[in-house]
Amino acid sequence: MKIALLQYPVLWADRDENLRLTCERIRAIAGQAQLALLPEMFTTGFCTDQPELAETTNGETVSTLQKLADEFRIAIAGSFICKDDATGKLYNRGFFIKPFETPDFIDKKHLYAHGGEDRFFTAGNNRSVIEYLGVKFRLLICYDLRFPVWARQEKDNLYDILLVCANWPQVRIKYWDALIAARATENQCYICATNIIGEDNQQLHYNGHSIAYDSYLNPIAQFEDDEEGTKIADFDIERLHHFRSVLPLWKDADDIVIK
């Protein structure tokens, strides 16, 4: 399974231009990867107080990415500001768009109150595992990374690759580095995490550190400080399953119930 990590600046609140640039970047890797992982709120940046930027799941962002997925036979994951069709509530909505299939959506569970996210957005409660090309994925959105129970492998619902999309600033980047490694270790999974670079409208700097680890915590794709570009991580799923069979630590995990 080849996954492209896209680490770029996000233009603040410029939905149309961010979407256009993202489409160009995905077209540039056509045929090189089976999945492209975008950052959190890739069309807007972490704009938590501009509800007018929200779209429905039938809006331009999802429909454009679906056409791109179909055209280039590539799945696309990330998150955007979504206004739910049924309730009218706002969500930081994660998506996993597959070629010629109905998209999967998973809303961010843990809303970042310090950034005002809880004032406008509604928390999600979906821990679904998404299967694509025989590989099982879980998707976390930024702040969700801090909560190990939310990412925990279920004994009867194992995933292979944990995806993380984020807007994680440089001032807290050491936590990002540590938490990504921890989530991969405790869940005996591969992990692929994408962050942004550049400045936002809140005077925060983002220096990236997007990375992919295998189950032995070997980096198989990683970015330096403030590095702009796309890198492809090649995950060997059979090797992961062998590792789990030889050292089945996940079987000793505590049963959990999330209320």
Residue 190, classed as helix, strand or coil, is strand
For the segment 103-128, what is each residue's pLDDT rounded down to a tens digit? 999 999 999 988 789 999 999 999 89
Q: Inter-axis angle of helices 15-27 and 60-72, to 10 degrees? A: 10
108 is catalytic: yes
> Could you tell me where the beta strands, DSSP code E, fall in 44-182?
75-83, 90-97, 104-107, 130-132, 135-141, 161-165
The catalytic residue among 47, 82, 142, 189 is 142
Q: Is the pLDDT of residue 157 over 80?
A: no
pLDDT value, residue 154: 81
- Rounded alpha-carbon distances, angstroms, from residue 79 to 45, 50, 56: 10, 16, 12
User: Taking the complete model, does pTM exceed 0.75, yes or no?
Assistant: yes
The catalytic residue among 108, 109, 165, 192 is 108
67 is catalytic: no
As a whole number of angstroms, the distance between CA 26 and CA 116 comes to 31
Spatial contact of 190 and 3, defined as CB atoms under 8 Å apart: no
Amino acid at 16: D
192 is catalytic: no
